[in-house]
Amino acid sequence: MPISAKRNQRFSEKHLNIDEMLMVVVGDAKVLKPQLEALNYKVIDFKL
């Protein structure tokens, strides 16, 4: 049975706290880092 977008949205709002999530971004740091910082994201550089 498919889940409707509305039901999925309600579930997300109830169970997911965006303040406790981590985001992994892969790409050109010279381009992405200033863009993410402009959105007030804390950026931590991680190099392999």
Per-domain residue ranges for the chain?
22-48
pLDDT band (50, 70, 90) for residue 18: confident
* Mean pLDDT confidence for 25-45: 95
Which whole-number Å values give the CA distances from 40 to 13, 17, 34, 36, in the listed order? 22, 17, 10, 7
Give the rounded percent of residues in the chain with a pLDDT score beyond 90.
79
Q: Which residue, 48, 43, 39, is CA-closest to 30?
A: 43
Q: Longest Cα pair distance anywhere in the chain, in angstroms?
A: 44
* Mean pLDDT confidence for 22-35: 94
pLDDT, residue 10, reads: 94
Which whole-number Å values give the CA distances from 30 to 1, 2, 12, 15, 46, in the listed order? 44, 41, 32, 34, 13
Q: What is the pTM of this model?
A: 0.60
